[in-house]
Structure 1
Amino acid sequence: MKIVSLVPSITEALFDLGLTEHEIKGRTKFCIHPADKIKNVAVIGGTKNINIEKIKALQPDLILANKEENMKDQVEALMNDFKVMVAHVETIEDNYYLLKSLGKLAGKEERAQLFNLKIYEILNQAKLRTPVKAAYLIWNNPYMTVGSDTFIHKILTEIGFENIFKDKTRYPVITTEDLKKADVIMLSSEPFPFKEKHIEELRAFYPEKKIMIVDGEAFSWYGTHIAKCEGYFKELLEDIHAMQM
């Protein structure tokens, strides 16, 4: 089977499940994991500006897309010529069934189940002692955060954070003043690459708050990625626990 993946986290999951460049024939430029294996896979553009002609040249048996990450018109254009599977992952349960589906597709059901069990184990163990009010920023100028119908929100909630924007949906634009109720302000490493200078900008408004850069992949990459974040979540929560003391 020849597969083209238009989703970075799904590309990673396929390799984690045991597929190789012999099956995975195309990927986006944002499909960066696993670094030693994706280099042998053809790049077919970005997640939102795919090169349909390049994909047609690969003649895939299956294209894997995502409702949120890919453009609807481009995905529909591909559906005219190819079999396309469109994932939509908002919850941990959604992720469970995504991996189950990918495992069945790849003939790696047992391996997919091991990843699912590891993810549940990590999320069950990674818990704050008491809830901490948090704001998670994904974009700068303007600031954008996450609402309750996002995968990031679900991960935050699973490990004990209270998203102060849980009454919002999707990715609302907010102001600096809207962050006043947060005890912790998280600046994600992606899609906007927040840096130390952005921490300092916010610290000028909120010198008493904990403001930190967090690994965006750990919170937003569904598929198998969370199964590899045990150490990261442990360190993150230890940092927050120290703040609570």
Structure 2
Amino acid sequence: MQKTVKDQLGNQVTFNYPPKRIVSIVPSQTELLFDLGLDDEVVGITKFCIHPIEKFAAKTKVGGTKKLLIEKIRDLKPDLIIGNKEENTQGEVELLMQEFPVWMSDIYNLEDAIKTITQIGELVNREPEAAYLNHLITAGFTDLQTLAVEKNINQTVAYLIWKDPYMFAGRNTFIDDVLRKIGLQNVIEQSRYPELNLSQLQTLNPQLIFLSSEPYPFKQKHIDEIQSSLPNAKVMLVDGEMFSWYGSRLVKAVNYLFHLQDELKVI
């Protein structure tokens, strides 16, 4: 049977339900599909869709999130493509929309992520599984917010996602919302992902500086470099997946963030 839904950009999407040949072009949403119990139905993924690794190894790769191999996607003959406004390139998505049903998410906070998990569960006929994941995520983040108050976590923070130039997670991003949920105050007031140099960061004077493991692979040498410019800040590496993957990885993120709160409590 065919089903018609609206995606999160307001597009009407008509597709065969339940879909049997899905191409997922966003890593966190790919992991969600597998955690919802799909396997054979997912026929194409990106080279960044690395979780779970055994599924990654077995699936056809259709390029990167921002540079898709359109011909490979055509060869897979998907009956549904699942993407995201921020992570995928608009021109490529519009090209695919001319040939295939494409459902797009648009996510800025935890509440958006929970809604997306529900909607993707509905797309692929896995509503109970999606509801259970959302139960775990909602309960976990409620506890994290309670613990932020109990542990008196209210430090200021800057969250770096890129180097040369330095780019930060600003307001109106999923990362910013997760930081707030665990009790931290983002010193970056610009929207989205602004560029700042270290002298501008010195002026903002954050107590904490998080260097994300992705998309830029920050290492110890980068900690040392930034620490020398901001000696009073605590500079630390954090797992970028736990702050920016908005699918089922949020279940694992709860435990990671619990431990991070304990670390911050003693700073």
Question: TM (normalized to structure 1)?
Answer: 0.96
Q: Could you tell me which residue of structure 2 aligns to residue 90 of structure 1? A: 108
The correspondence for 1:56, drawn from 74, 79, 94, is 74
Matched, 1:178 2:200: yes
Q: Could you tell me which residue of structure 1 aligns to residue 12 of structure 2? A: none
Matched, 1:17 2:36: yes
Q: Could you tell me which residue of structure 1 aligns to residue 16 of structure 2? A: none
Q: Structure 1 residues 178 and 121, CA, compared in 2 at 3 Å: closer, same or farther? A: farther
- Segments of structure 2 that go 5 or more residues without pairing to the other structure are 1-19
Matched, 1:235 2:256: no
Matched, 1:73 2:110: no
SS in 2 for 1:39: helix
Matched, 1:199 2:217: no
Q: How far 1:35 moved relative to its partner?
A: 0.8
* Cα separation, 2, equivalents of 1:193 and 1:219: 15
* 2:211–2:235 contact (8 Å) kept in structure 1: yes
Matched, 1:6 2:29: no
* Cα separation, 1, equivalents of 2:167 and 2:220: 18
Q: How far 1:160 moved relative to its partner?
A: 0.5
In the TM superposition, what whole-angstrom CA distance separates every residue of 1:52-100 from its partner, at most 9, and x where no partner exists? 1100000000001110111111000001110000111111111111101
In the TM superposition, what whole-angstrom CA distance separates every residue of 1:177-224 from its partner, at most 9, and x where no partner exists? 222320000000000000000000011112221100000000000011
Opposite residue 178 of structure 1, the aligned amino acid is Q
Q: Could you tell me which residue of structure 2 aligns to residue 112 of structure 1? A: 130
* Cα separation, 1, equivalents of 2:102 and 2:122: 16
Q: How far 1:242 moved relative to its partner?
A: 0.9
The correspondence for 1:37, drawn from 34, 55, 64, is 55
- CA RMSD, 1 decimal: 1.0
SS in 1 for 2:242: helix
Q: Could you tell me which residue of structure 2 aligns to residue 142 of structure 1? A: 165
Opposite residue 183 of structure 2, the aligned amino acid is G
* 2:243–2:253 contact (8 Å) kept in structure 1: no
Opposite residue 227 of structure 1, the aligned amino acid is V
Matched, 1:121 2:139: yes
Moved more, 136-145 or 226-235: 226-235
* Cα separation, 1, equivalents of 2:181 and 2:257: 11
Question: TM (normalized to structure 2)?
Answer: 0.88
* Cα separation, 1, equivalents of 2:234 and 2:174: 23
Opposite residue 201 of structure 1, the aligned amino acid is E
Identity %: 43
SS in 2 for 1:26: strand
Opposite residue 188 of structure 1, the aligned amino acid is S
* Cα separation, 1, equivalents of 2:182 and 2:138: 11
In the TM superposition, what whole-angstrom CA distance separates every residue of 1:121-164 from its partner, at most 9, and x where no partner exists? 22122243231100000001111001111000000011101000
* Cα separation, 1, equivalents of 2:223 and 2:93: 37
Matched, 1:209 2:237: no
* Cα separation, 2, equivalents of 1:210 and 1:91: 26
Q: How far 1:32 moved relative to its partner?
A: 0.2
In the TM superposition, what whole-angstrom CA distance separates every residue of 1:22-53 from its partner, at most 9, and x where no partner exists? 10000000000011122111001111110111
